Protein backbone atom coordinates (compact mmCIF):
# COMPACT_ATOMS: atom_id res chain seq x y z
CA UNK A 1 0.00 0.00 0.00
CA UNK A 2 1.24 3.46 -0.89
CA UNK A 3 1.53 5.67 2.16
CA UNK A 4 -0.17 8.85 0.96
CA UNK A 5 0.20 12.00 3.06
CA UNK A 6 -3.60 12.33 2.91
CA UNK A 7 -6.35 10.30 1.24
CA UNK A 8 -6.20 10.52 -2.58
CA UNK A 9 -9.30 11.97 -4.30
CA UNK A 10 -12.13 9.68 -5.29
CA UNK A 11 -11.90 8.15 -8.75
CA UNK A 12 -14.24 10.03 -11.11
CA UNK A 13 -16.73 7.60 -12.65
CA UNK A 14 -20.00 7.38 -14.55
CA UNK A 15 -22.77 4.84 -14.79
CA UNK A 16 -23.00 2.09 -17.39
CA UNK A 17 -26.47 1.43 -18.82
CA UNK A 18 -27.83 -1.95 -17.76
CA UNK A 19 -24.98 -2.61 -15.32
CA UNK A 20 -24.20 -2.08 -11.66
CA UNK A 21 -20.56 -1.50 -12.61
CA UNK A 22 -19.20 1.99 -13.09
CA UNK A 23 -16.94 3.38 -15.81
CA UNK A 24 -13.77 4.90 -14.28
CA UNK A 25 -12.86 8.14 -16.06
CA UNK A 26 -9.19 8.67 -16.92
CA UNK A 27 -9.16 11.80 -19.11
CA UNK A 28 -11.69 13.86 -21.03
CA UNK A 29 -10.58 14.89 -24.52
CA UNK A 30 -12.78 17.28 -26.48
CA UNK A 31 -12.87 18.05 -30.20
CA UNK A 32 -13.47 21.63 -31.33
CA UNK A 33 -15.11 22.60 -34.64
CA UNK A 34 -16.20 19.16 -35.83
CA UNK A 35 -19.42 20.34 -37.50
CA UNK A 36 -19.08 22.85 -40.36
CA UNK A 37 -22.12 24.97 -39.40
CA UNK A 38 -20.88 25.30 -35.81
CA UNK A 39 -17.40 26.33 -36.98
CA UNK A 40 -19.07 29.02 -39.10
CA UNK A 41 -21.27 30.29 -36.24
CA UNK A 42 -18.10 30.62 -34.12
CA UNK A 43 -16.43 32.67 -36.84
CA UNK A 44 -14.00 29.93 -37.92
CA UNK A 45 -13.51 28.36 -41.33
CA UNK A 46 -14.57 24.70 -41.37
CA UNK A 47 -11.59 22.69 -42.54
CA UNK A 48 -10.40 19.15 -42.80
CA UNK A 49 -6.88 20.14 -41.74
CA UNK A 50 -6.02 18.97 -38.23
CA UNK A 51 -8.71 18.56 -35.59
CA UNK A 52 -8.70 21.01 -32.67
CA UNK A 53 -8.41 19.38 -29.24
CA UNK A 54 -8.74 20.60 -25.68
CA UNK A 55 -9.32 18.82 -22.37
CA UNK A 56 -11.49 18.89 -19.29
CA UNK A 57 -10.44 17.37 -15.96
CA UNK A 58 -11.81 13.87 -15.33
CA UNK A 59 -13.83 15.03 -12.34
CA UNK A 60 -15.71 17.58 -14.48
CA UNK A 61 -18.20 14.78 -15.24
CA UNK A 62 -21.53 15.18 -13.45
CA UNK A 63 -24.59 12.93 -13.49
CA UNK A 64 -26.84 14.86 -11.12
CA UNK A 65 -30.19 16.17 -12.31
CA UNK A 66 -29.22 19.58 -10.91
CA UNK A 67 -26.33 21.26 -12.72
CA UNK A 68 -24.86 24.30 -10.95
CA UNK A 69 -24.53 27.54 -12.91
CA UNK A 70 -20.79 28.23 -12.70
CA UNK A 71 -19.24 31.40 -11.35
CA UNK A 72 -17.22 33.92 -13.35
CA UNK A 73 -19.51 33.90 -16.40
CA UNK A 74 -22.59 35.66 -17.67
CA UNK A 75 -22.82 33.54 -20.81
CA UNK A 76 -22.92 29.81 -20.09
CA UNK A 77 -23.44 27.90 -23.36
CA UNK A 78 -24.65 24.39 -24.12
CA UNK A 79 -22.88 22.15 -26.64
CA UNK A 80 -24.55 18.77 -27.10
CA UNK A 81 -22.06 16.09 -28.12
CA UNK A 82 -21.59 12.42 -28.85
CA UNK A 83 -19.21 10.98 -26.25
CA UNK A 84 -16.96 8.04 -27.11
CA UNK A 85 -15.72 5.97 -24.15
CA UNK A 86 -12.57 3.87 -24.51
CA UNK A 87 -12.45 0.41 -22.99
CA UNK A 88 -9.68 -1.79 -21.60
CA UNK A 89 -8.38 -3.29 -24.86
CA UNK A 90 -6.21 -0.63 -26.46
CA UNK A 91 -3.72 -1.48 -29.22
CA UNK A 92 0.01 -0.84 -29.12
CA UNK A 93 -0.21 0.35 -32.71
CA UNK A 94 -3.34 2.30 -33.61
CA UNK A 95 -4.61 2.07 -37.17
CA UNK A 96 -7.82 2.60 -39.13
CA UNK A 97 -8.58 -1.09 -38.82
CA UNK A 98 -8.48 -1.33 -35.02
CA UNK A 99 -9.48 2.12 -33.75
CA UNK A 100 -13.21 1.42 -33.44
CA UNK A 101 -12.53 -1.86 -31.63
CA UNK A 102 -11.26 0.19 -28.67
CA UNK A 103 -14.67 1.77 -28.07
CA UNK A 104 -16.37 0.55 -24.89
CA UNK A 105 -19.56 2.49 -25.47
CA UNK A 106 -21.26 5.74 -26.34
CA UNK A 107 -23.00 8.44 -24.33
CA UNK A 108 -24.52 11.86 -24.88
CA UNK A 109 -23.02 14.78 -23.01
CA UNK A 110 -22.90 18.54 -22.77
CA UNK A 111 -19.63 20.43 -23.22
CA UNK A 112 -20.66 23.36 -21.03
CA UNK A 113 -18.75 26.48 -21.96
CA UNK A 114 -18.20 29.88 -20.38
CA UNK A 115 -18.55 31.52 -23.81
CA UNK A 116 -17.62 34.98 -22.58
CA UNK A 117 -14.32 33.72 -21.14
CA UNK A 118 -13.66 31.73 -24.31
CA UNK A 119 -14.25 34.81 -26.47
CA UNK A 120 -11.81 36.84 -24.36
CA UNK A 121 -9.23 34.05 -24.49
CA UNK A 122 -9.52 33.78 -28.28
CA UNK A 123 -9.20 37.54 -28.66
CA UNK A 124 -6.04 37.61 -26.52
CA UNK A 125 -4.67 34.33 -27.94
CA UNK A 126 -4.77 32.78 -24.47
CA UNK A 127 -5.67 29.18 -23.53
CA UNK A 128 -9.33 28.12 -23.21
CA UNK A 129 -9.00 26.23 -19.91
CA UNK A 130 -11.13 28.45 -17.70
CA UNK A 131 -13.80 28.59 -20.42
CA UNK A 132 -13.99 24.82 -20.85
CA UNK A 133 -12.43 22.87 -17.98
CA UNK A 134 -14.41 24.02 -14.95
CA UNK A 135 -16.15 21.95 -12.27
CA UNK A 136 -19.32 20.19 -13.44
CA UNK A 137 -18.66 21.29 -17.03
CA UNK A 138 -19.35 17.81 -18.43
CA UNK A 139 -22.90 16.57 -17.70
CA UNK A 140 -23.10 13.09 -19.24
CA UNK A 141 -25.54 10.20 -19.62
CA UNK A 142 -24.73 6.67 -18.61
CA UNK A 143 -22.44 4.96 -21.11
CA UNK A 144 -24.24 2.51 -23.37
CA UNK A 145 -21.98 -0.43 -24.25
CA UNK A 146 -21.32 -0.77 -27.98
CA UNK A 147 -23.19 -4.07 -28.13
CA UNK A 148 -26.42 -2.15 -27.34
CA UNK A 149 -25.53 1.16 -29.01
CA UNK A 150 -26.21 1.16 -32.73
CA UNK A 151 -25.05 4.42 -34.28
CA UNK A 152 -24.41 5.34 -37.89
CA UNK A 153 -24.22 8.40 -40.14
CA UNK A 154 -28.00 8.98 -39.85
CA UNK A 155 -28.13 8.89 -36.04
CA UNK A 156 -29.42 12.23 -34.75
CA UNK A 157 -27.81 14.21 -31.95
CA UNK A 158 -30.31 16.67 -30.45
CA UNK A 159 -30.77 19.15 -27.64
CA UNK A 160 -34.00 20.67 -26.41
CA UNK A 161 -34.11 23.43 -23.78
CA UNK A 162 -37.44 24.11 -22.04
CA UNK A 163 -39.13 22.00 -24.72
CA UNK A 164 -37.70 23.90 -27.71
CA UNK A 165 -35.16 22.39 -30.05
CA UNK A 166 -31.81 24.21 -29.89
CA UNK A 167 -29.42 21.85 -31.68
CA UNK A 168 -29.75 18.90 -34.03
CA UNK A 169 -27.51 17.18 -36.56
CA UNK A 170 -26.76 13.69 -37.77
CA UNK A 171 -23.46 12.04 -36.92
CA UNK A 172 -22.63 11.88 -40.63
CA UNK A 173 -22.23 15.67 -40.52
CA UNK A 174 -19.10 15.38 -38.38
CA UNK A 175 -16.04 16.66 -40.26
CA UNK A 176 -13.77 14.09 -38.58
CA UNK A 177 -15.05 10.54 -38.00
CA UNK A 178 -14.60 8.68 -34.73
CA UNK A 179 -11.76 6.68 -36.29
CA UNK A 180 -10.01 9.82 -37.54
CA UNK A 181 -10.30 11.50 -34.13
CA UNK A 182 -9.01 8.46 -32.23
CA UNK A 183 -6.04 8.10 -34.58
CA UNK A 184 -5.20 11.81 -34.25
CA UNK A 185 -5.45 11.62 -30.44
CA UNK A 186 -3.35 8.46 -30.33
CA UNK A 187 -0.50 10.35 -31.98
CA UNK A 188 -0.70 13.20 -29.47
CA UNK A 189 -1.30 11.20 -26.26
CA UNK A 190 -1.01 7.71 -24.83
CA UNK A 191 -4.71 6.88 -24.80
CA UNK A 192 -5.85 4.88 -21.78
CA UNK A 193 -8.85 2.80 -20.76
CA UNK A 194 -11.36 5.19 -19.22
CA UNK A 195 -10.67 8.04 -21.61
CA UNK A 196 -13.72 9.93 -22.87
CA UNK A 197 -13.83 11.85 -26.13
CA UNK A 198 -16.43 14.61 -26.60
CA UNK A 199 -16.77 14.63 -30.38
CA UNK A 200 -17.79 18.24 -31.03
CA UNK A 201 -21.11 20.04 -31.29
CA UNK A 202 -23.52 20.93 -34.09
CA UNK A 203 -24.64 24.52 -34.70
CA UNK A 204 -27.20 26.20 -32.48
CA UNK A 205 -25.11 26.71 -29.36
CA UNK A 206 -26.75 29.27 -27.08
CA UNK A 207 -27.11 30.40 -23.49
CA UNK A 208 -28.38 28.33 -20.58
CA UNK A 209 -29.83 30.22 -17.63
CA UNK A 210 -30.77 29.24 -14.11
CA UNK A 211 -34.03 27.30 -14.17
CA UNK A 212 -33.57 26.04 -17.74
CA UNK A 213 -34.38 22.38 -18.29
CA UNK A 214 -32.39 20.54 -20.95
CA UNK A 215 -32.95 17.23 -22.70
CA UNK A 216 -30.12 15.85 -24.82
CA UNK A 217 -30.53 12.74 -26.96
CA UNK A 218 -28.37 10.45 -29.02
CA UNK A 219 -31.16 8.92 -31.08
CA UNK A 220 -32.06 5.41 -30.02
CA UNK A 221 -29.07 5.15 -27.69
CA UNK A 222 -28.89 7.59 -24.79
CA UNK A 223 -30.55 10.62 -23.26
CA UNK A 224 -29.63 13.16 -20.61
CA UNK A 225 -31.95 15.45 -18.67
CA UNK A 226 -31.10 18.16 -16.20
CA UNK A 227 -31.86 21.58 -14.79
CA UNK A 228 -29.48 24.51 -14.38
CA UNK A 229 -29.63 25.73 -10.78
Nearer to Mn ion, 111 or 195 (CB): 111
Using alpha carbons, select from 91, 88, 86, 118 the residue that is nearest to residue 105.
86
The site for Mn ion, by CB under 5 A, has a size of 3
- 155 makes contact with Mn ion (CB under 5 A): no
Cα 5 → chain centroid: 33
Q: Closest separation between CB of residue 222 and Mn ion, Å?
A: 17
Q: Closest separation between CB of residue 101 and Mn ion, Å?
A: 25
Q: Which residue number has the CB closest to Mn ion?
A: 111
Using alpha carbons, select from 72, 90, 68 the residue that is nearest to residue 183.
90
Nearer to Mn ion, 193 or 207 (CB): 207
Q: Give the integer Cα–Cα distance in Å for 114 and 119.
A: 9
Nearer to Mn ion, 145 or 202 (CB): 202
Q: Closest separation between CB of residue 184 and Mn ion, Å?
A: 16
Q: Closest separation between CB of residue 111 and Mn ion, Å?
A: 3
- 195 makes contact with Mn ion (CB under 5 A): no
- 201 makes contact with Mn ion (CB under 5 A): yes
User: Please, which of residues 88-127 interact with Mn ion by CB under 5 A?
Assistant: 111
Q: How would you class 26 by CB atoms within 10 Å of its CB: exposed for 0-12, middle for 13-18, buried for 19 or more?
A: middle
Contact at 8 Å (CB) between 215 and 159?
Answer: yes
User: Please, which of residues 18-77 interact with Mn ion by CB under 5 A?
Assistant: none
Give one DSSP letter per residue of 148-177, joined into a string: G----TT-EEEEEETTEEEEEEEGGGBSS-
- 79 makes contact with Mn ion (CB under 5 A): yes
Interface residue list for Mn ion (CB under 5 A): 79, 111, 201
Amino acid sequence: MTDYAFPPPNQASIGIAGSTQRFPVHRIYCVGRNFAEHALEMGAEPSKGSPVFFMKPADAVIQHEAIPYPGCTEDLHHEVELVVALGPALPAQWNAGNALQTVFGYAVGLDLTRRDLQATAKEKRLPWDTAKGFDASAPISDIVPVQQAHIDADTLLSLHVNGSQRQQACLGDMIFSITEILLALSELYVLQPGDLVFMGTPSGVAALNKGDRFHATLQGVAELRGTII
